[in-house]
Amino acid sequence: MKHSISYYPGTKPITILCLFILYTPLIVISLYSFNSLRSITTWGEFTFDWYIKAFSNPAIQNATMNSLLIAVLASSIATLIALAAAMGMLRGAPLRKQKIVVGVINLPLLLPEIVVAVASLIFFIAIDMTLGLGTILLAHIVFCIPFAYLPISTRLKDIKQSFDEAAYDLYASRWQAFRHVTLPMAMPGIVSGLMLAFVVSLDDFIVANMVAGPGSSTLPMTIYSMLRIGLTPEINAISTILLLISILFVTASWWCNRSSKSTT
């Protein structure tokens, strides 16, 4: 291998460096959330105190509930919308305007978040909508759609149309063919999209920060306002929880997609 022309020395150490850079900050901040001392240099003992302290704060409890509520609702609604769009786009012959539809669906990914944030703020105020959980939810559904659409459409493309045709030959209605044939086969893609959308909603700080009203803080917003006092172990603790939720969901989403590949 080393004498092969396609071997470039140094790519392995750089890859290891790349992973080291990506993971070290996350691992370090998680480790310090378990240190009983506020110190960086000395390790007291292993403790869950910062977690208990952080989550006994009513503001943080409230923000956690808000974040979870919005993430569950936004990801489910966005997944339904994305599933409908993917079914319309990919079952049957290619539609006219197909490219425009894909462009519109991916638009939220292309725009800088800060522009989406101020545009949403201006819009909600222009239509006289009260800023709060409702406005955050609406804004989140919009940018969750492309994230849910991607794995669902990839999955649907892999399911041959002949399955539907077989169902129609057996006198299944359009709905029955969807319900009993396409839906079960597309399920891994749908679950994968749902989880990605959930993570994306839970992650958002910039948009929520703009369109939230009083009392509708989400968890990232609460972390941000806590930063004014400085980097406390409580922040490390909440960050670690958010980090673990993201990694858990994304791993599950990846697993869904991977195990599904072997079944088609």
Partner 1 sequence: MLNIFKLSKEEKVRYGLISPSMLMIGFFLLIPISIVFVYSFLQPGTYGGVEWVFSLDAYKQFLFQEDFLTEELQFTSAYLEIFGRSFLQAAIATLLCFMIGFPTAYFIATRPANTQSLWLFAITIPYWVNLLVRTIAMLFIIRDQGPLNEFLMYLDWIDTPIKLAYTPFAVSLGLFYSFLPFMVLPIYTALSRFDMSLLTAAHDLYASRWAALKNVLIPSVSNGIYAGCLLVFIPSIGSFIAPDLLGGGKQLMIGNLIALQFQGSRNWPFGAAIAIILLTIILITLLIFSLRKKGEQQ
Segment 9-28, which members bind partner 1 (CB under 8 A)? 10-12, 14-15, 17-19, 21-26, 28
C-beta of 71 vs 185, nearer to partner 1: 71
- Among residues 58, 96, 169, 228, which is the contact residue for partner 1, using CB under 8 A? 96
Q: Whole-number minimum distance, CB 231 to partner 1, in Å?
A: 6
Asked if 162 is part of the footprint of partner 1 (rule: CB under 8 A), the reply reads no
HSE, side-chain direction, 13 A CA sphere, residue 120: 28
- Classify the C-alpha dihedral 255-257-258-264 as positive or negative: positive
SS3 state at 84: helix
Asked if 131 is part of the footprint of partner 1 (rule: CB under 8 A), the reply reads no
- Among residues 120, 153, 217, 260, which is the contact residue for partner 1, using CB under 8 A? 120
Beta bridge partners of 46: 35
C-beta of 10 vs 58, nearer to partner 1: 10
Q: How many CB atoms lie within 10 A of CB 253?
A: 22
10: left (phi over 0), alpha (psi -120 to 50) or beta: left
Q: Whole-number minimum distance, CB 56 to partner 1, in Å?
A: 21
Q: Whole-number minimum distance, CB 245 to partner 1, in Å?
A: 9
CA distances from 45 to 31, 34, 42, 48, 258 (A): 11, 8, 10, 10, 40
- Among residues 88, 99, 165, 184, which is the contact residue for partner 1, using CB under 8 A? 88
- Among residues 68, 142, 159, 172, which is the contact residue for partner 1, using CB under 8 A? 142
33-72: contacts with partner 1 (CB under 8 A): 40-41
Q: How many CB atoms lie within 10 A of CB 199?
A: 22
**How far is residue 217's CA from residue 64's CA, in Å, rounded to a whole number?**
9
Asked if 214 is part of the footprint of partner 1 (rule: CB under 8 A), the reply reads no
- The one segment of 45-53, 54-62, 109-117, 184-192 that binds partner 1 by CB under 8 A: 109-117
**How far is residue 10's CA from residue 70's CA, in Å, rounded to a whole number?**
45
Counting residues that bind partner 1 (by CB under 8 A) gives 88
Q: How many CB atoms lie within 10 A of CB 261?
A: 10
Q: How many CB atoms lie within 10 A of CB 92?
A: 10
**How far is residue 219's CA from residue 255's CA, in Å, rounded to a whole number?**
27
183-202: contacts with partner 1 (CB under 8 A): 196, 199, 202
Asked if 95 is part of the footprint of partner 1 (rule: CB under 8 A), the reply reads yes
- Among residues 6, 56, 262, 263, which is the contact residue for partner 1, using CB under 8 A? 6
Asked if 225 is part of the footprint of partner 1 (rule: CB under 8 A), the reply reads no
Asked if 133 is part of the footprint of partner 1 (rule: CB under 8 A), the reply reads no
Asked if 206 is part of the footprint of partner 1 (rule: CB under 8 A), the reply reads yes
CA R_g for the chain:
23
